[in-house]
């Protein structure tokens, strides 16, 4: 009886882990975000103003010429806000990158209305990352918080032996983790494919924020790969954290023009000079001000339109649904 009770309890625990927001991918994908529970701020406070201003400024300073990455801060402690922005390495143009950061910044204002820290992977196709906090985030690895999204039953679509598939998948992801972690301080990004059979290929993409060390990047990506231990036998999806991204599918979901990251350069990256009021140094400060914001949500396709998409917030094991509203000037 005791054994039966334990078994039932374990089953219920697994069920509660998996019962989260489920939707059909009948539209252009979804936005994944995490609102931290480490603290809240008061509306119209100095932190509120600084958060809005820093998120409003990010898209003005992100370009593919600097690897699509930007880090900055604003204000004075204890109301200081730090932020980083990162476009995915297969972003087709600067315009695409800028538009994505703009949309993601607006989205996170709505989805995490009073949290002192949050990150989002969203904003467009391909996605981009926006992460803000009340502490320095540049160069700091954050493993506990993340989201995974996956869809489709692998056994229903795979035209190969599952054991053979597992070997190919593990070899592909292991090699890609090593390749990306060896990227430069400008860009840590790569894509790779592995042929399963004459009819099917695995497509995989990984990226770290370039401020991570080689070891931290590898650790972050391996954690993303390990996330799939909860979701075996699913046909693709992605795992996202504040410092890294891993996506894979049985169809090409990224631009074929991007492969391995370029070799490290001895010259510093060329960053477009920002206005005097905004700092590109993560340890410097940009002046406080007030402004206004708006919200929009652009999403990306993650799987077959017939595949069920299961979203899991790794930290809270739930996905809070937030209405997407338009924010008007304050």
- 8 Å CB contact between 245 and 121: yes
User: For residue 72, what pLDDT is reported?
Assistant: 97
In whole angstroms, give the CA distance from residue 141 to residue 38.
Answer: 16
Q: What Rg value do the Cα atoms of the chain yield, rounded?
A: 20
In whole angstroms, give the CA distance from residue 159 to residue 164.
Answer: 11
User: For residue 30, what pLDDT is reported?
Assistant: 56
- 8 Å CB contact between 150 and 236: yes
Q: Which residues contact 229 (CB under 8 A, 6 or more apart)?
A: none
Q: Which residues contact 143 (CB under 8 A, 6 or more apart)?
A: 219, 220, 223, 241
In the structure encoding, which two tokens stand for residue 182, read together? 């060896």
In whole angstroms, give the CA distance from residue 330 to residue 327.
Answer: 8
What is the signed CA dihedral for 112, 115, 119, 124, rounded to 10 degrees?
A: 20
Backbone angles phi, psi at 319, to 5 degrees: -120, 105
Question: pLDDT averaged over consecutive 10-residue blocks of the chain (330 residues)?
Answer: 45 34 31 92 97 97 94 96 97 96 97 97 94 97 88 84 92 98 97 95 97 98 88 86 96 69 46 38 37 34 33 41 30
In whole angstroms, give the CA distance from residue 96 to residue 187.
Answer: 17
User: For residue 202, what pLDDT is reported?
Assistant: 96
Which residue carries 């301080």 as its tokens? 185
User: For residue 204, what pLDDT is reported?
Assistant: 97
């Amino acid at each position: 009886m005791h054994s039966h009770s334990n078994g039932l309890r374990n089953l219920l625990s697994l069920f509660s882990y998996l019962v989260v927001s489920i939707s059909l991918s009948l539209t252009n994908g979804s936005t994944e975000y995490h609102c931290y529970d480490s603290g809240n701020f008061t509306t119209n406070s100095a932190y509120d103003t600084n958060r809005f201003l820093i998120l409003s400024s990010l898209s003005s300073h992100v370009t593919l010429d600097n690897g699509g990455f930007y880090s900055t801060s604003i204000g004075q402690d204890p109301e200081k806000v730090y932020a980083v922005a990162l476009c995915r390495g297969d972003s087709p143009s600067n315009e695409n990158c800028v538009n994505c950061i703009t949309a993601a910044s607006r989205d996170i204002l709505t989805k995490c209305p009073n949290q002192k820290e949050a990150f989002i992977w969203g904003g467009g196709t391909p996605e981009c990352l926006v992460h803000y906090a009340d502490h320095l985030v540049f160069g700091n690895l954050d493993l506990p918080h993340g989201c995974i999204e996956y869809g489709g039953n692998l056994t229903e679509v795979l035209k190969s032996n599952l054991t053979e598939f597992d070997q190919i998948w593990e070899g592909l992801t292991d090699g890609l983790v090593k390749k990306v972690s060896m990227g430069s301080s400008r860009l840590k990004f790569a894509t790779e494919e592995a042929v399963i059979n004459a009819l099917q290929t695995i497509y995989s993409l990984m990226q770290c924020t370039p401020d991570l060390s080689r070891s931290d990047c590898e650790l972050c990506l391996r954690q993303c790969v390990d996330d799939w231990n909860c979701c075996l036998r699913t046909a693709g999806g992605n795992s996202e954290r504040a410092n890294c991204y891993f996506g894979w599918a049985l169809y090409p979901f990224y631009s074929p023009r991007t492969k391995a990251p370029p070799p490290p350069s001895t010259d510093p990256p060329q960053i477009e000079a920002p206005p005097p009021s905004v700092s590109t140094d993560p340890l410097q400060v940009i002046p406080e001000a007030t402004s206004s914001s708006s919200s929009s949500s652009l999403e990306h396709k993650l799987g077959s339109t017939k595949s069920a998409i299961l979203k899991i917030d790794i930290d809270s094991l739930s996905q809070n649904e937030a209405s997407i509203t338009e924010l008007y000037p304050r």
